[in-house]
């Protein structure tokens, strides 16, 4: 039997990059998926690429808005009958050193990553505890482990996601709901391809495996956390970094 046979998964920020790779991995293992993304057109075409509407749907959702996240999750239950997996993946960067970062840039990043993740975890938990089963996977970052120059906003949000994951895992374990986090390192996506070549080369040089990671290499770890393969794991953080900053 496939690892996610008949399971229903919601992936925020699923229109492209790591989120889309996670959706592809889940569909390949028998899941039905709903992609929630601010970019509705891109989410629609990504869902079509994944399969017909009996397999993949797209919903416009801004994760900073509690009501939109709730509607996304309820919509998945209405369309497919349950909510078994949520991946809180939506993300943005607004990099700048503290000298130049605006308060708005700080708030935007905290809003999408930390508050967005809280909205998703909270609303998914309300559904999953009734089902007495579920797996929530939060996408943190290596930046939240070590702190990166120019990312006081992003590093704070991604470290916060680790705390949120562990607290939620403790609150939900006895309801049969697991919550785990992934800290990717340098992964090839639109977010990182925007980096200047010099910075990109410096970062690759810090990776013991001497290469960038591919979105599917994060997706396979999300699949592990989403499936019964990790049935006795909650509150954990997996580093998918090629050994960088181990
Ligand atoms: P991408 O920019 O390729 O994908 C992120 C997606 O999230 C985009 O479709 C984006 O839409 C969407 N999004 C942004 N804001 C919101 C919002 N408010 N509500 C819903 N969707 C939103 O990034 P990646 O695939 O690289 O990143 C995915 C996750 O992995 C992020 O959480 C990121 O922080 C994390 N990560 C990535 C690493 C990397 O090296 N790539 C390393 C460590 C962690 P739009 O394009 O319209 O903004």
What's the gap in Å between 133 CA and the centre of ligand 1? 27
pLDDT value for 191: 83
The pick from 10, 15, 17 for probing ligand 1's pocket by mutation, whose C-beta has the most ligand atoms within 8 angstroms, reads: 17
Close Cβ partners of 219 (under 8 Å, ≥ 6 residues apart)? 18, 21, 22, 24, 25
pLDDT for 83-92, tens place per residue?
999 999 999 9
pLDDT value for 207: 98
Candidates 233, 127, 113; CA nearest to 163 is: 113
Decide: helix, strand or coil at residue 132.
coil
Q: Which residues of the chain have pLDDT under 70?
A: none
Q: Is the pTM of this model over 0.95?
A: yes
| Architecture of the domain spanning 8-240 | 3-Layer(aba) Sandwich (3.40)
Residues with CB under 6 A from ligand 1: 12-13, 15-19, 37-39, 61-64, 89-92, 112, 116, 139, 141, 184, 186-187, 189-192
pLDDT value for 41: 98
Shortest-distance atom of ligand 1 to CA 187: 40
Decide: helix, strand or coil at residue 10.
strand
Shortest-distance atom of ligand 1 to CA 139: 32
Q: Is 232 a catalytic residue?
A: no
d(CA 183, CA 195): 19
Shortest-distance atom of ligand 1 to CA 63: 19
What's the gap in Å between 2 CA and the centre of ligand 1? 27
pLDDT value for 194: 85
Q: Cβ atoms within 10 A of the Cβ of 74, count?
A: 14
pLDDT for 13-59, tens place per residue?
999 999 999 999 999 999 999 999 999 999 999 999 999 999 999 99
Decide: helix, strand or coil at residue 76.
helix
Order of strands across the sheet that contains 8-12: 56-60, 32-37, 8-12, 85-88, 134-139, 177-184, 237-240
Which residue is associated with the tokens 């050994």?
A: 243
């Amino acid at each position: 039997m496939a690892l996610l046979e008949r399971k229903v998964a919601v992936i925020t920020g699923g229109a492209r990059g790591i989120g889309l790779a996670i959706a592809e991995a889940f569909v390949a293992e028998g899941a039905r998926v709903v992609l929630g993304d601010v970019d509705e057109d891109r989410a629609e075409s990504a869902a079509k690429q994944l399969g017909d509407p009996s397999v993949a749907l797209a919903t416009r959702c801004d994760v900073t808005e509690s009501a939109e996240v709730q509607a996304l999750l309820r919509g998945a239950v209405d369309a497919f009958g349950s909510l078994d997996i949520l991946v809180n993946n939506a993300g943005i960067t607004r990099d700048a050193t503290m000298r130049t970062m605006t308060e708005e840039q700080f708030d935007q990043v905290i809003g999408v990553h930390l508050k967005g993740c809280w909205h998703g975890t909270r609303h998914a938990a309300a559904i999953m505890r009734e089902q007495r089963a579920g797996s929530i996977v939060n996408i943190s970052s290596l930046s939240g482990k070590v702190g990166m120059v120019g990312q006081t906003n992003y590093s704070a949000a991604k470290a916060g996601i680790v705390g949120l994951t562990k607290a939620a895992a403790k609150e939900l374990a006895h309801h049969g709901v697991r919550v785990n986090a992934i800290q990717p390192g340098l992964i090839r996506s639109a977010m990182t391809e925007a980096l200047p070549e010099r910075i990109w080369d410096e970062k690759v040089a810090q990776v013991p495996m001497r290469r960038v990671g591919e979105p599917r290499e994060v997706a396979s770890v999300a699949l592990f956390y989403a499936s019964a393969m990790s049935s006795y794991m909650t509150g954990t953080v997996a580093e998918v970094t090629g050994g960088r900053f181990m």
